[in-house]
Amino acid sequence: MNLGVDHFMKMTPENYQPGIGLRPGGERPGLEPIIMQVYKAMYESIAAHSRQGINVVVDVEHHDSYSAPRRILLTCARILRKYPVVFVGVHCPIGEIMKRRKDTWGTGYAKNGAIPESVKRWQHYVHILGIYDLEVVTSIMSSDECAHLIHQKLRDLPSQTAFQLIRDME
């Protein structure tokens, strides 16, 4: 089951967009409390699926660069306390990201040829904590290779997982 950000954004009403896809920078402080609620709901849904024995893949980014700290990742790690989690850091060089943006949405660089500030902030803030069970680089690994590594890591979970470390940070 895939319960990632794209599916939640599709379900999000227009007046709450971009929902949990809100970029770092504190640009829409009025939206931030709703974002926290949606993250909690998404992770409670992940837990509910897991309780039923359904494997879940979650393609979602976490950052705490809002107008005020929201501690979203810590909250999410607490919700999944009882469940096996492989927290994966997905990396891709910014040049490749820009190529993929152009190929997918027909847009990429700013009019002046620069990388948009929102993309730079995203690249920085989603990896600022840097605690993962596994890291993959999608510019040099196929999606099948990444999936294989994730599956292997899930079978051989370490005694101390990234989510445990994140929960213990408080």
Residues marked active site are found at: 6
Compute the distance between CA of residue 18 and CA of residue 40 in angstroms, rounded to an integer.
Answer: 16
The crossing angle, in degrees rounded to 10, of helices 32-51 and 72-79 is: 20
Closest CA to 20 of 146, 121, 3: 3
- Strands 134-137, 88-91: pairing kind: parallel
Q: For residue 137, report the phi and psi dihedrals to the nearest 5 degrees.
A: -120, 110
Q: Give the Cα separation of 97 and 38 in Å (integer).
A: 26
Q: Using CB atoms within 10 Å of the CB of residue 62, give its burial: 0 to 12 exposed, 13 to 18 middle, 19+ buried.
A: buried
